[in-house]
Structure 1
Amino acid sequence: MTDVATKAPQLLLYAMFDPERTDAGTLRDVFDMSGVQDQPIRSIPGKDLSVLASPVEDSSVISSPSMGEVLAFKRVVDTAFQGGPLIPLRFGTLVRSNGQAEIVLQEKGHLYADLLGRLDGQAEMGICLSLKSEGNGENDRIPSYRGDRPGTAYLLARQQSLVRERQRAEALVAPFREALGSLATSVSTSPRHDAEESVSIAFLVPRKNVDRFREIAGEVSVPAARSVEVVGPWAPYSFV
């Protein structure tokens, strides 16, 4: 598989799945959809798993996708996910032909099958926190340095700033970890993004726990957050 852009026709891969564990009606719905660049969706079979794909005439477009293309990709994956467990692939995963996809499935299919087994019956739920302003942000500002080694000093200051960001993010999501940890199989936290002033935390949750998860998440209080949004369930993008 490759992420290198080229103008030669290629195939964009969406997700790996087990046809025997996926609802046939849901698959028909997927095959009736248009994917990225309004291309039809096809299934490429392998020994253990199959993979959803669509043709790409100019893959240079994939390297700088529009939001519409990203959403089209997500719609295909999330629709397929309604029919059974799957492994969502990173947007921009390309192969040159059906044959190359079949080789990937043959060589790594057993590894993906093991991962799919661990994801079976699970969904991703997310918590998105929009943060209150910290004032003028003096603690996070990277100072200008003069002297013999300004580059080293800058990198050290930047590293310290990133550590502070991570510590603050972990402190913000700690109440959710405590309240929701017993309902989840795994947790993944994103670092803080300065421009957005936000923190996200993803939980891998058994589908049977989704309603209870949403209920409890709505009761968690985080004074430092301007708003809290509970999202999902959807395919386990953060856990593959």
Structure 2
Amino acid sequence: MPQMPAADTPLVLYALGLKRTLSNRKSLAGRLGLFEQPVDLVYTDLLAAVVSPVSDTNRLKEASVETLLLYKDVVESAFVSGTVLPMQFGTCVPSAAALMNALQDQGKRYREQLHALEGCAEMGLRMRLVPADTAPDDAEAPDGRAPAERPGTSYLLRRQRERSGLSASTHRIVGDVRSALDAFTVATSIPKRVAGKAHSVVSIAFLIQRAHAQSFRQEALRLSVPGLNGLDVVGPWPPYSFV
């Protein structure tokens, strides 16, 4: 790996991990990060941060698609052999010393997050749904009753719809998909509607055990859910949606 960044150099922060795993991460050796700067590690006793120097932090405010993809590529290289906490794009610190102080101050919280995510990866689904007029909102629940008839369900469904901006029929489809993949699932994100040309498209992230990624993919591609008109499976990725 390159030498420790100069003491007064601002740094782009890509990800955090445990020192015992990141310090031996060959996938980072010789890598260039944003603006063709070398990727490096900053250590404390137990944690390590994946960084690269940046001379002008304002350059991050007008990032191109290529810059975002390069940022993601560095994070995923760090993820090759172990658990990391991806940082939001554009996260910077004024110096290596400031970063080390932050890691010391917040080290317990970061280690707890890493422990909770140990062995996990994110898988994403992009679900193509049938048009809303062919999937009515008043369909019955699997137990034979409309969702609103079950105690507490109406309120919870309404709050979920308010948070995601999705219709009741879409939430039923998402719920069926979640239930079908429950055996693999540690956690799921709030579903989001994304642009789609011929169909309504909804994306959702699943946190799973990394060892189950292939089984999850196979099971997801076999799904047969009323209202679902196909899906794409992506991942495994670092747990972007769960940090």
Q: Which of the residues 207, 218, 222 maps onto 2:210?
A: 207
* 1:43–1:219 Cα change, 3 Å: same
* 1:37–1:133 Cα change, 3 Å: farther
Cα distance in 2 for residues equivalent to 1:230 and 1:54: 31
Cα deviation, residue 180, structure 1? 0.7
Please name the residue that 2:19 is paired with. Answer: 19
Cα deviation, residue 200, structure 1? 0.9
* 1:166–1:40 Cα change, 3 Å: farther
Query: What residue ranges of structure 1 are gaps of 5+ in the alignment?
Result: 1-7, 136-159
Cα deviation, residue 226, structure 1? 4.5
Cα distance in 2 for residues equivalent to 1:17 and 1:231: 23
Q: Residues 112-154 of structure 1, C-alpha deviation per residue, up to 9 Å, x if partnerless? A: 001101111111111112345557xxxxxxxxxxxxxxxxxxx
Cα deviation, residue 57, structure 1? 1.6
Cα distance in 1 for residues equivalent to 2:167 and 2:100: 41
* 1:133–1:64 Cα change, 3 Å: farther
Cα distance in 1 for residues equivalent to 2:178 and 2:164: 20
Q: Residues 20-68 of structure 1, C-alpha deviation per residue, up to 9 Å, x if partnerless? A: 13472xx233131111111110101123211001111222221121111
Please name the residue that 2:168 is paired with. Answer: 167
Cα deviation, residue 191, structure 1? 2.4
Please name the residue that 1:94 is paired with. Answer: 92
Cα distance in 1 for residues equivalent to 2:83 and 2:242: 13
Q: Which of the residues 226, 233, 236 maps onto 2:236?
A: 233
* 1:163–1:31 Cα change, 3 Å: closer
Specify the SS of the correspondent of 1:192.
strand
Query: In structure 2, what residue type is equivalent to 1:200?
Result: S
Query: What residue ranges of structure 2 are gaps of 5+ in the alignment?
Result: 1-7, 134-160
For the pair 1:31 / 2:32, whether they are aligned, the reply is: no
Aligned residues: 208
| 87-96 or 52-61, larger mean C-alpha shift | 52-61
* 1:169–1:47 Cα change, 3 Å: farther
| 44-53 or 168-177, larger mean C-alpha shift | 168-177
Whether the 8 Å contact between 1:23 and 1:84 is mirrored in structure 2 is: no
Whether the 8 Å contact between 2:41 and 2:49 is mirrored in structure 1 is: yes
Q: Which of the residues 35, 57, 62 maps onto 2:55?
A: 57
Please name the residue that 1:121 is paired with. Answer: 119
Q: Residues 193-220 of structure 1, C-alpha deviation per residue, up to 9 Å, x if partnerless? A: 4677421111111122212111110011
Whether the 8 Å contact between 1:9 and 1:59 is mirrored in structure 2 is: no
So what's the TM-score if we normalise by structure 1?
0.78
Q: Residues 68-94 of structure 1, C-alpha deviation per residue, up to 9 Å, x if partnerless? A: 111111111111101111111111111
Whether the 8 Å contact between 2:19 and 2:44 is mirrored in structure 1 is: no
Query: In structure 2, what residue type is equivalent to 1:93?
Result: T
Please name the residue that 1:43 is paired with. Answer: 41
Cα distance in 2 for residues equivalent to 1:57 and 1:35: 13
Specify the SS of the correspondent of 2:192.
coil
* 1:60–1:195 Cα change, 3 Å: farther
Whether the 8 Å contact between 1:169 and 1:191 is mirrored in structure 2 is: no
Q: Kindly report which structure 2 residues correspond to 1:71-220, keeping only aligned pairs within 5 A, or say none.
A: 71-134=69-132, 165=166, 167-193=168-194, 197-220=200-223
Question: % of aligned pairs identical?
Answer: 32
Please name the residue that 1:70 is paired with. Answer: 68
* 1:194–1:214 Cα change, 3 Å: closer
Query: In structure 2, what residue type is equivalent to 1:170?
Result: H
Cα distance in 2 for residues equivalent to 1:36 and 1:100: 20
